[in-house]
Structure 1
């Protein structure tokens, strides 16, 4: 039971399982409940091996494809089932497994992360460290505990290149002070975490996502103190929520952030689904930030999330075979106008070797054009579009220059518009993001647009001022989302939708503007200045001059008295 998707469910293994049972003379009828992108290929494979059940009642040794079933049909199916077979490579908390066991059906499953999340070696357990809190080498003991935890869970806590998520963490560092001071700090830390108020076990916390929320809180506060670098790993929660609502993933969706930072933006669209039926994928170029993202996934309970470490443009790692993986939803807040994003030349003496050139990209992501080497914005956008499936939708945060810069960027923008992929352009307030005060915009791309028109929203004046940066209020987010959804549903006619806020442009208008998407060209943001009453101004000036003359005479009189 479940979505027919090989990457997570390993559904292509089902014919081999059925053949093995048949060869052993085991009588069986395998019923497959679910739908998804692998359905047609799976049916073809079953038919090829003579395993596909006919239209009549299935015979022994056959496989019956039932398609997607309602909850009631699932209950009836389980009542008539002896064994639940799951070939999943990853499952999180398996709802199908829980339903089957509740119905008295024996499960036969692969090793599921939802059943055993982590192997915790004895010396990695908090209890062990707390008992040894007075040891003079407590920093070293904590380091060993983390290393052993990584080793015991290599598939989950190591990158493909063999780097662990705790690689840059050192509790024995001299930065923690002299040995005596360091040991006291670590001892105090262990004592604090042993208090009942910090009991983080699920049995104590209940169902609330307190750990994940606390982790997000710490990342956000660290981002607030990190200055310019913060924008490289954290997207404000309000912007994440807005992107999640604009792209609105459905149950069963594959969701990706190709520049995932600490993972906060990736998590939010999953939470917007409204069920556990989705899968998360991300890639991050910075090793330390990749480790933050992996920990973020686990602390939110998304154990089956796939987070890769590497450069998304030069070395994309989210692939199926030799092709890029396709997604239902892609969201990103990539680095603004990244310099030297593409071509890589390796020099060895007088010999120069090109290890990557976007002109010859093996995935053909830049067929619309190659962005300038000093501005990588459209490189990330091109990657996102090329990883959307036929029903996919993408939302990306960009600097405003993406909307109007010419040359190769202008040509890429024009071709993207002509393909009718761009759906909405949304201008955001300035000073929303950590590390930069410049205003940004959100572009929404949709492979299933309902019309050939384009929505423009100027939300730059709709925000709440905070101490260090501005933030979107709930009402601001809902205003944007409701306008967008009305447009997507075909409810908005071309022209002004809301004065000085939103406008629906036709393809002809975009062409007239030479494919320039600068928002003021479509949304009238001009504020008329109040008329000046010149007579009143002259009268006020004369009055002020008379008062000034009077004061000056009084000062002169006081000075004469002082002199005499």
Structure 2
């Protein structure tokens, strides 16, 4: 009888794999090796499970089974199988063998995994000198051989358990990743909120131009599945500038069964790769992103000659790329159905100069729909408060909804978090589009113009709490009483000191 295991068992065992490297190698380095090994182990276990099922069905007919296995979602050779690597673990050359296995997997599955492992080398000196490296990798292979990490579908059930485990690891690495964490992960409650307000529908084409690990855009896809009986009638697009992070996104998509995707590797602002046959930017029903906050050196020097006309409303400042990402995203929205949610630092709401001019034009074009202020210390790698800007190509009114959700959150030891109640309140307010005392306000474009197109939330949502009036007579009376009590205590203290001989 096959023993079923739960998500927590897999997650805990995977996190324990890090003990192999802790103290000798930084988490920034070893995270890629653990995530890649999880991917390799999952492929091998699925392959073996399906092979064993065919063997039960057809008997010992290797040629027939080999033919049947050609119709699998991916192809795996004997030398690229985890079992082969595990058997050889005590021999020298573990790093080289694992690299060869990954390259073989890539070559056999180019349409899905082209280039995914080119930035990952288990034979790298980053893992130490040859003897230490070989020992670390032997230990890693042995941990993945333990019962908890038997990832055969017949044992773990549905595919999402593996995808969830992958995202669990990514979240854990992000939590300890310092200033680099935000480059590859958006907190799940924030991505849930963004997916909810974007309201993805069947047939939608959706894009994240700052893909990271892919978790944000996949949330939008899962929202379609949840609302339309498991339908996968949608397409995911994205671009990511960091090679190893792009590889995470590709593996994450694969583990979640998201085969209808196109994730490019490259700099979205300097070299957008999601273009059509005429060389124009692709357009989408949904565009969403959590770009790096106030990115320095984003490509300012070439912006005036941008062939896509993305910066026609103005060129953002050289040292702050926030409006560069916003401008790119706006230009990739479909003219009728396009809607967009982007995470920004609060400075985007009120900074002047070229940013103020771009903001003014976006508001005057009636593209901005909602501003949602979020709590501080919500995002990995930064403690500053952020906001979500929601844009629509076709709006029903000429107003902007302001929501101040900055004071409602669950505080944690190192990180604040939006609770499910916090998220529900934001979503209800967003959908109702009504003013709530000290929480939300629906501003007309005329009001925003009167405020010089400054979107700073306190200008619209008054959260001021009147202080309780102080009764001075009561305070004076209490003061006299305290002075009298203090006099009595001093007399008692003098008596005690005399008795002690002082």
Question: TM-score surpassing 0.5?
Answer: yes
Larger Rg: 1
Correspondence 1:171 to 2:122: yes
Q: Deviations over 1:109-142 (max 9, x none)?
A: xxxxx95432222211112112222212223211
CA 1:558 to 1:174, structure 2 compared with 1: closer, same or farther past 3 Å? farther
CA 1:439 to 1:207, structure 2 compared with 1: closer, same or farther past 3 Å? same
After the TM superposition, which residues 526-545 of structure 1 pair with which residues of structure 2 at under 5 Å, given as runs? 526-545=464-483
After the TM superposition, which residues 3-402 of structure 1 pair with which residues of structure 2 at under 5 Å, given as runs? 116-158=72-114, 164-173=115-124, 176=127, 179=130, 182-274=133-225, 275-321=231-277, 322-344=279-301, 357-390=302-335, 391-402=337-348
More strand by percentage: 1
| Distance in 2, Cα, partners of 1:196 & 1:151 | 30
| Distance in 2, Cα, partners of 1:547 & 1:177 | 71
| Distance in 1, Cα, partners of 2:129 & 2:478 | 71
Q: Which runs of 5+ in 2 are unaligned?
A: 1-69, 226-230
In the superposition, the TM-score normalised over structure 1's length comes to 0.72
Correspondence 1:453 to 2:399: yes
| Distance in 1, Cα, partners of 2:159 & 2:104 | 29
| Distance in 2, Cα, partners of 1:153 & 1:116 | 11
Correspondence 1:553 to 2:481: no
In the superposition, the TM-score normalised over structure 2's length comes to 0.81
CA 1:366 to 1:178, structure 2 compared with 1: closer, same or farther past 3 Å? closer
Q: Deviations over 1:181-223 (max 9, x none)?
A: 5444433332332334322233333324011100100010111
| Distance in 2, Cα, partners of 1:545 & 1:175 | 70
Q: Tell me how far 1:175 sits from its aligned partner.
A: 5.1
| Distance in 2, Cα, partners of 1:387 & 1:404 | 24
| Distance in 1, Cα, partners of 2:284 & 2:359 | 22
Q: Tell me how far 1:403 sits from its aligned partner.
A: 1.0
| Distance in 2, Cα, partners of 1:173 & 1:548 | 73
Q: Tell me how far 1:272 sits from its aligned partner.
A: 0.7
Match of 1:436 among 375, 379, 382: 382
Match of 1:407 among 353, 378, 396: 353
SS in 2 for 1:319: coil
Task: Tell me if the contact between 2:120 and 2:244 (Cα under 8 Å) persists in the aligned partners.
Answer: no
* Count of residues in correspondence between the two structures: 426
Q: Tell me how far 1:248 sits from its aligned partner.
A: 1.0
Q: Deviations over 1:479-523 (max 9, x none)?
A: 111221223xxxx4xxxx211111111121111111111111111
More helix by percentage: 2
Q: Tell me how far 1:556 sits from its aligned partner.
A: 3.5
CA 1:343 to 1:174, structure 2 compared with 1: closer, same or farther past 3 Å? closer
| Distance in 1, Cα, partners of 2:124 & 2:486 | 69
| Distance in 1, Cα, partners of 2:469 & 2:262 | 60
Q: Which residue of 1 aligns with 2:40?
A: none
Task: Tell me if the contact between 2:370 and 2:400 (Cα under 8 Å) persists in the aligned partners.
Answer: yes
Q: Tell me how far 1:229 sits from its aligned partner.
A: 1.3
| Distance in 2, Cα, partners of 1:218 & 1:285 | 21
| Distance in 2, Cα, partners of 1:376 & 1:343 | 8
Q: Tell me how far 1:550 sits from its aligned partner.
A: 2.9
SS in 2 for 1:324: coil
Root mean square deviation, CA, Å: 2.0
Q: Tell me how far 1:307 sits from its aligned partner.
A: 1.2
| Distance in 2, Cα, partners of 1:251 & 1:409 | 35
| Distance in 2, Cα, partners of 1:330 & 1:151 | 32
| Distance in 2, Cα, partners of 1:486 & 1:191 | 54
SS in 2 for 1:191: helix
Task: Tell me if the contact between 2:209 and 2:289 (Cα under 8 Å) persists in the aligned partners.
Answer: yes
Question: Larger relative contact order (C-alpha < 8 A, sep ≥ 6)?
Answer: 2
SS in 2 for 1:320: coil
Task: Tell me if the contact between 1:117 and 1:303 (Cα under 8 Å) persists in the aligned partners.
Answer: no
398-407 or 166-175: bigger deviation: 166-175
CA 1:202 to 1:544, structure 2 compared with 1: closer, same or farther past 3 Å? same
| Distance in 2, Cα, partners of 1:140 & 1:412 | 52
Q: Which residue of 2 aligns with 1:478?
A: 424
CA 1:177 to 1:520, structure 2 compared with 1: closer, same or farther past 3 Å? same
Q: Deviations over 1:38-86 (max 9, x none)?
A: xxxxxxxxxxxxxxxxxxxxxxxxxxxxxxxxxxxxxxxxxxxxxxxxx
